[in-house]
Amino acid sequence: MTEVLCNALTIDVEDYFQVSALAPHFPRASWDQVPCRIEANVDRVLALLHEHGAKATFFTLGWIAERYPKLVRLIVMEGHELASHGYAHERASVQTPDAFCADVTLAKAVLEDIAGVAVKGYRAPSFSIGSSNPWAHDELLEAGYAYSSSVYPIVHDHYGMPDAPRFAWRLPNGLIEIPVSTVRRFGRNWPAGGGGYFRLLPYRVSHWAIESVNRRDQRSAIFYFHPWEIDPDQPRVKGASAKSRFRHYLNLNRMERRLRCLLGDFRWGRVDETFLSGF
């Protein structure tokens, strides 16, 4: 019998008002005045994972961790990996090296102090490490991270490094980069690892793509989503562009049902346990 590969499930722990596309409507200085929905949404995610016996990696904002320490400790108590999403959800591509280093160092310290576990991994907001800022990997290593999941090897209007390797690779400095999954067809990479594409396209497309990575490429896949994506009752932001509204709100009411299918159809684990042992 062919062994069933374990894939890595990842959750970017940020609230709806911290999404980059909605940043013009929620300045960071106002975040403390916006009612958070993150606790209830992460609780629902944890319940889903428990129901299906799945483990995951939670890339968590330091800003969230400081305000909801019980939530961070619960993630660890449930056997999931705690990783960093930076402190203030600022794109790496708009920061100086010094500012970026300060952000990721602070986030790691906050998470480790609250949870009492080592934080090995980091994911840049909006996959904002690419050809314009390769120095970011050196700063991550300097800050004490073992791996990053911040380079998305696709063409996208906000991010992407399509010529980067499709699968986990070790950089010259020793850091491991673990990109979100893609499928290679018609001479280009196509997203296969979740996000808005998972809500936009029929579920069978995502199922086929992950199965292709497992069977055709003989590799574990890595998939991601956000807690706000299972929250169809979240406030609608007035004045957001049509493009932002489409990307953010499309099919939120179908997301939880699709996740249940995903959790039932594939085997899921943490990033550290799925990928790091091979390096």
9: amino acid identity, one letter: L
- Domain membership of residue 166 (yes or no) is yes
**What percent of the chain stands above pLDDT 70?**
97
Q: What is the predicted pLDDT for the residue at 231?
A: 97
pLDDT tens figures, 158-193:
676 888 999 999 999 999 999 999 999 988 999 999
Between the two ends of the chain, the Cα-to-Cα distance in Å is 26
- Domain membership of residue 180 (yes or no) is yes
Q: What is the predicted pLDDT for the residue at 247?
A: 85
- On the 0-12 / 13-18 / 19+ scale of CB atoms within 10 A, 157 is exposed
Confidence of residue 238 (pLDDT cuts 50, 70, 90): confident
| Tokens 């996959």 belong to residue | 127
pTM of the predicted structure, to 2 decimals = 0.96
Q: What is the predicted pLDDT for the residue at 217?
A: 96
pLDDT(1) > 50: no
Q: What is the predicted pLDDT for the residue at 162?
A: 87
DSSP 277: G
- Domain membership of residue 207 (yes or no) is yes
- Domain membership of residue 1 (yes or no) is no
Confidence of residue 110 (pLDDT cuts 50, 70, 90): very high
Q: What is the predicted pLDDT for the residue at 200?
A: 92
> Residue range 83-111: average pLDDT?
97
- Domain membership of residue 83 (yes or no) is yes
Q: What is the predicted pLDDT for the residue at 240?
A: 87
Total structural domains within the chain: 1
Q: What CA–CA distance (Å, rounded) separates 234 from 222? A: 27
> In the 3-class helix/strand/coil scheme, how is 127-185 assigned residue by residue?
HCCCCCCCHHHHHHHHCCCCEECCCCCCCCCCCCCCCCCCCCEECCCCCEECCCCEEEE
Cα 98-100-103 angle, rounded to 5 deg: 110
pLDDT tens figures, 7-60:
999 999 999 999 988 988 999 999 999 999 999 999 999 999 999 999 999 999
CATH number of the domain where residue 111 is located: 3.20.20.370
Q: What CA–CA distance (Å, rounded) separates 249 from 240? A: 11
**What percent of the chain stands above pLDDT 90?**
85
Range of the domain at 196: 6-278
